[in-house]
Amino acid sequence: MSSDCLFCKIVAGEIPVEFVYESDTVVAFRDISPQAPTHVLVIPRKHIATINDIAPEDEAVIGHMYTAAKEIAAAEGIAEDGYRTVMNCNEGAGQSVFHIHLHVLGGRPMTWPPG
């Protein structure tokens, strides 16, 4: 837990958020500023600041973030039409919260390349 981290506070229940998915090692909740009809953030309970900070022992939880994402997509009804998962790394890529999170976006057509 990083005491000054917004997403650690959400994991700890200090900021009330409804989880759309939770397990022993990850939680997921709706983005406060949704960029698509479905916009969910999947985060590890463990504080990992950026992709650059992922350690070998984190490999299982990183994989689990994707199995969580696929279950969320199915529950949201976007699995067949398609959805996008994004994890930004550092400011240059648009990361604004330094506790890794997998964006799960769907419910509208997605363009490529992203901006």
- Positions annotated as catalytic residues are 101
Cβ nearer to ligand 5GP, comparing 29 with 83: 29
Dmax (CA) of the chain: 39
Residue 95 and residue 88 in contact, taking contact as beta carbons nearer than 8 Å = yes
Beta-carbon contacts of residue 32 (< 8 Å; ≥ 6 apart): none
Q: Find the length of the chain.
A: 115
Token pair recorded at residue 81: 């039409």
Query: Does 6 contact ligand 5GP by CB under 6 A?
Result: yes
Stretch that binds ligand 5GP, among 44-52, 63-71, 90-98, 104-112 (CB under 6 A): 90-98
Say which entry of ligand 5GP, Zn ion, none residue 3 contacts (CB below 5 to 8 A, set by partner kind).
none
Which residues in this chain contact ligand 5GP in the complex, by CB under 6 A?
6, 17, 29-33, 41, 88, 94-97
